[in-house]
Structure 1
Amino acid sequence: MDSLSNSLNPNKRLKEEFVSNLTGSSMLEISALATLVPVLILLRHSIGADRIIDTVTEEAKLKKNDDVLVLSKSWQDYMAALLIDFFLIVLPILLFLTVFAEWMYQSIVLLILLLLLCVVSKRSGSCSPFVDGGSRSLRTNISSFRVSMMIVTCLSILAVDFTIFPRRYAKTETYGTGLMDIGVGSFVLANSLVSRQARNISSKKLKTVVQSSSPLIILGFARLLSTTGVDYQVHVGEYGVHWNFFFTLATMSILTSIIDVPPKYCGILGSVILVGYQSCLMRGLNMYLFSEERGADPISQNKEGLFSVFGYWGIYLVGVQLGNFLFFQNQASIMRTKKWARIRVWLLSILFWFLTVLIDRHVERVSRRMCNLAYATMVLAVNLQVLGILMLSDFIPGSKTSVLEQACNRNLLATFLLANVLTGVVNLSMNTLFASPITALSILIAYALTFCVVIGLVDFYGIRLKFW
């Protein structure tokens, strides 16, 4: 069995070293990336094949609920719209994460100018800045935010194994701010903002707790068994020997269900947990978590994953209160709700950026590995910045959600699982470390196109892979 595993992944050690001992990027560059991605999505909303999007959108409006999709729309129109979305959203993001990374700041300026030009040209033909674009709901803005986070995550998990992906974007070893460091926290926050708790419909029933957590536990063990079975490269310093991302999500689901707190108090509890956890870190826990020594007990073997749960749970609870505060409180006017939600999101993003800089300099530097207080505030700052930019779509007349966003949003976790499977297949079938830039880029484009088309087809045929 060991010889088979080694034959499947003979370069395991080299691949693990390739993503180890990294120090990350700057907060400014992370903020710039958090600007570039939503701007690309807004550009797609404002330009492109309006006839195709109109056709698909009008057909989608005929469905009675999210679980029933009308199949009368044209397959040719749908695939054409999906490919346009790929070339205008996914491909540019992939290029800026790889071969165009050094020209990112200049590109952001050009993209913003192009977006402003589109807005001005569209508004010149309408009497109101909210024509058509104003009809986009808060739910649509949140969906675009969740999908943008998922696209960057899916592209990064494979790109990081190639040399054309800048090392500063990969996960840091101890302290630092790499782009991929934000991924796990963003996934947690994105789920919390629209969670049952945020909508104030949480339940203490044991059946609900089991239904919400058991699929994640199964996925966690499935990942553990599959990576062990093929001797897949795993950076132990990320979560520990046996722990993984799905176990973290399952633990938070259980904790949040058992300790049922009204959403208006979740932020207070989350802040107390984050501050208390940070105090423990500064009293020596951080040295324990960074130590390479591991005992034989399960806690020592998986110390990073187990203790970081406190940080992620704090982020989740704060996200629950923010989601309830920003999006799910009853308001008299829909337009007023959207206006004030947008203002609140921007103010909160600025506040969390200020806190991140302050804590990073005077308390403890950002650390994804520990999920400390500075990391939590940075995750909140970055994601609220992305959401705030996407909420500016109300100022773009004729703004329409892309087909790709609709498809990914209906099968968000399935998209992530598919990307993980494809990433594993690529890594086991070739030596990514020695691929030339042209070969690497070609593989990444084929990979991105594959998961976009597959998720699009799943959505087209009305399949919704809802795990709980």
Structure 2
Amino acid sequence: MDSSIKSFNPNKHLKEQFVSNLTGSSMLELFVLSAIFPMLILLRHTMGICRIVIFASPDHVTNDTSSNKKDLSTSKNQRVYILMMILDFFSFFVPITLLCTVLADWTYTNGVLFILVLLFFTASKRHGSSWDQEEVVNSFRTYVSSYRVFMMLMTCICILAVDFRIFPRRYAKTETYGTSLMDMGVGAFVFANAFVSRQARDISTMGLRSALSSTSPLLFLGFARLVSTTGVDYQVHVGEYGVHWNFFFTLAGVAVLTSIINISPKYCGHVGSLVLIGYQVCLMNGLNSYLLSAERGTGIVSQNKEGIFSIFGYWGLHLIGVWLGNNVLFGKNANLRTNRWARKQIWILAIFFWFLTLILDRFVERPSRRMCNATYVTLVLATNLQMLGVIMLSDYILGGKLSLLEQAINRNLLAFFIMANLLTGLVNLSVDTLSVSSLTALSILIAYGFIICAAATFADYNGIKLKFW
């Protein structure tokens, strides 16, 4: 009997070809996108509707998101809660989806329009400020939460949108070298976790046994994904991580390396840089040819060479993220630093890593997510610090705190991501994503987004927090 008849996914090979041999877009477009998307958060924060509707006056609002959560939950006003979730959904998810699909051909025009709108709000900023020193510090941590939520929303949108023709191929993951929007996903995830990790907070690291125990959920998710994708004949682009490897194994590998080699956060920047330099030297002396070759042996390493060797690049990225988080957010003097100081440091670092990326791209090697080379790491650092820097510009406009949807997703980030992955798989097995019309594709994406966002706010409203480790 023909295997395609028994397959849950008869268009598997067509879908694999649809995301293969892509070259990405330009660094300039990636730079503009890294500015446009976080501007949506600024625009939502300027609205301030959440505190106007739910609270009698702005004086009831604090920077403590747990306090906001308590006030919102005890109010038991489900209608208001639902309305705020819908407002946030149409303020965040829908615009990002449109910008990634039907509006993708007007990226630079969109950038100009967003800047003009924000300049208008900047000019409308109220004079004076009632924030004291402690509130400013808390505000910076709120911006970090906004950045992490935004990164997660972008990832969840792209992992499904990429399977539709409405999603530009230049935004999909590149085959070997190049820059694209989706290339930033796994790197951004590693950096965002490192920036607020236990190591960045200088909390004593765990031993190997504790490390294996704490990463067991990631290993379980990795094996669960491997078994499920094999069982339903789900499309897998082998050149991304390898035959058996996946994103969760990479995260687990970085976590184990971090636990085995205990490094003080103040030295993580130096060690991370040395790891990247050493790995890049190996790449330029033949390792890159091996990793990019289509030939594979029968051994587990050869079968999964991309995923296994790229761990060194992601570990270097993790260590630098730890150093940045400790220096800017959790260091000894962090509580004495103002939001203005932190914003200045973030923008200086973003500009530095952009220049470093251009130099490495020109004289060393083009960015490669597949190998996680040094140029890719500096590009991830540049784009993510830029996005965080843009969000921190809220100080210059009439802004609010974390919106309801941001707060809800922030409380269950990994659960939100897992649910998005499950729904992505369900849609791909239920719909021929390559043949649907643009309107149908957009409708599916918006319905998918509404389901995962509604689930996150439902969990938050009921005080449910899923802790995996």
TM-score (norm 2): 0.94
What corresponds to 2:386 in structure 1?
385
Match of 1:301 among 282, 303, 323: 303
Which deviates more from structure 2 when the two are superposed, residues 199-208 or residues 220-229? Answer: 199-208
Q: Is the 8 A contact 1:174 1:369 kept in 2?
A: yes
Structure 1 counterpart SS, 2:25: coil
Q: Is the 8 A contact 1:53 1:403 kept in 2?
A: no
Q: Is the 8 A contact 1:60 1:70 kept in 2?
A: no
The CA distance in 1 between the partners of 2:63 and 2:281, in whole Å, is 50
Residue 393 of structure 1: CA displacement? Answer: 1.3
What corresponds to 1:99 in structure 2?
102
Letter in 2 for 1:33: L
Match of 2:88 among 74, 85, 103: 85
What corresponds to 2:25 in structure 1?
25
Structure 2 counterpart SS, 1:417: helix
- Deviation readout 1:232-285 (Å, 9 max, x if unpaired): 000000000000000010111111011111000011111111010000000010
What corresponds to 1:117 in structure 2?
120
| CA pair 200-376 structure 1, distance change in 2 beyond 3 A | same
Q: Pairwise CA RMSD of aligned residues?
A: 2.5
What corresponds to 1:238 in structure 2?
240
The CA distance in 2 between the partners of 1:464 and 1:135, in whole Å, is 25
Which deviates more from structure 2 when the two are superposed, residues 321-330 or residues 166-175? Answer: 321-330
Residue 300 of structure 1: CA displacement? Answer: 0.3
- Deviation readout 1:111-144 (Å, 9 max, x if unpaired): 1211221232232xx3349699957522111100
Letter in 1 for 2:362: R
Residue 380 of structure 1: CA displacement? Answer: 0.3
Q: Is the 8 A contact 1:47 1:118 kept in 2?
A: no
| CA pair 8-285 structure 1, distance change in 2 beyond 3 A | same
What corresponds to 2:453 in structure 1?
452
Q: Is the 8 A contact 2:416 2:452 kept in 1?
A: yes
Residue 309 of structure 1: CA displacement? Answer: 0.3
What corresponds to 1:427 in structure 2?
428
The CA distance in 2 between the partners of 1:129 and 1:97, in whole Å, is 38
* Equivalences for residues 231-380 of structure 1 within 5 A: 231-331=233-333, 334=336, 336-380=337-381
Residue 8 of structure 1: CA displacement? Answer: 0.9
- Deviation readout 1:269-325 (Å, 9 max, x if unpaired): 111110100000000100100111110000000000000000000000010001001
Residue 48 of structure 1: CA displacement? Answer: 5.2
What corresponds to 2:168 in structure 1?
166
Structure 1 counterpart SS, 2:124: helix
Residue 110 of structure 1: CA displacement? Answer: 1.3
Match of 2:195 among 186, 193, 196: 193
| CA pair 6-344 structure 1, distance change in 2 beyond 3 A | farther
Q: Is the 8 A contact 1:136 1:394 kept in 2?
A: no
| CA pair 62-276 structure 1, distance change in 2 beyond 3 A | closer
The CA distance in 1 between the partners of 2:295 and 2:67, in whole Å, is 56
Residue 70 of structure 1: CA displacement? Answer: 4.2
Residue 205 of structure 1: CA displacement? Answer: 3.4
* Equivalences for residues 134-149 of structure 1 within 5 A: 134=136, 137-149=139-151
Residue 60 of structure 1: CA displacement? Answer: 9.9
| CA pair 82-306 structure 1, distance change in 2 beyond 3 A | same
- Deviation readout 1:187-215 (Å, 9 max, x if unpaired): 00000000000000032334531332111
Q: Where do 5+ consecutive residues of structure 1 fail to align?
A: none
What corresponds to 2:11 in structure 1?
11
The CA distance in 2 between the partners of 1:74 and 1:447, in whole Å, is 25
- Deviation readout 1:38-74 (Å, 9 max, x if unpaired): 1110000001524235479859969579999944441
What corresponds to 1:402 in structure 2?
403
Letter in 1 for 2:183: D
Q: Is the 8 A contact 1:71 1:460 kept in 2?
A: no
Match of 1:176 among 178, 182, 205: 178
Which deviates more from structure 2 when the two are superposed, residues 164-173 or residues 1-10? Answer: 1-10
The CA distance in 1 between the partners of 2:25 and 2:181, in whole Å, is 8
Structure 1 counterpart SS, 2:369: coil
What is the percent sequence identity of the aligned residues?
Answer: 59
- Deviation readout 1:378-411 (Å, 9 max, x if unpaired): 0000000001111111222342221111011111
The CA distance in 2 between the partners of 1:192 and 1:77, in whole Å, is 35
The CA distance in 1 between the partners of 2:321 and 2:355, in whole Å, is 18
The CA distance in 2 between the partners of 1:450 and 1:103, in whole Å, is 28
